[in-house]
Amino acid sequence: MSKKRLKPSRRGMEALRAEPGAEDGIDPRDELRQAARTKGGRKTHQLCAQVAEAINYAFAAECHDDLLREMGVVAVQPAPDESRLLVTVAPTLPGPCDPAEVLVRLDKAQVTLRTQVAAGIHRKKVPQLAFRVMLNAETQ
């Protein structure tokens, strides 16, 4: 048996087409998909958690740099989406820390860190990593 489709009423159609707008002709689902991608859904948050875990492991075990061994991941967030991630690191021990020196050392260890991230996540492409150094882990 086939179902008969109901036609929309003329009054409803006239109300919709009364004033043309900028979003006429654009699929509203596309806007929602783009907003969800930049905002980050469940999968993006899962990726950020996996990246944080992999980088913490790399700091502790794989990086042969005493300064990076004293660092810990505070936060990982999409910047602007999951293809590039902003990793916020801070020293785990109290004491003096030069953020410029930490960034130089992170740049040198970029290959090692991305290798550990590739091993720790389940994606075809490894995201680019950008780093930010905080002097105090409590203030973000």
81-90: pLDDT as tens digits: 888 999 999 9
Q: How confident is residue 140, by pLDDT bands cut at 50, 70 and 90?
A: very low
Residues 40-49 pLDDT 10s: 688 888 899 9
> What residues contact 118, with CB distance under 8 A and at least 6 apart?
126
Domains and CATH numbers, the chain: 38-133 (3.30.300.20)
> What's the rounded Cα separation, in Å, for the pair 92 and 14?
64
Alpha helices per DSSP H over 1-140? 10-16, 28-39, 42-57, 66-69, 99-108, 110-120
Q: Which two tokens stand for residue 77?
A: 């967030």
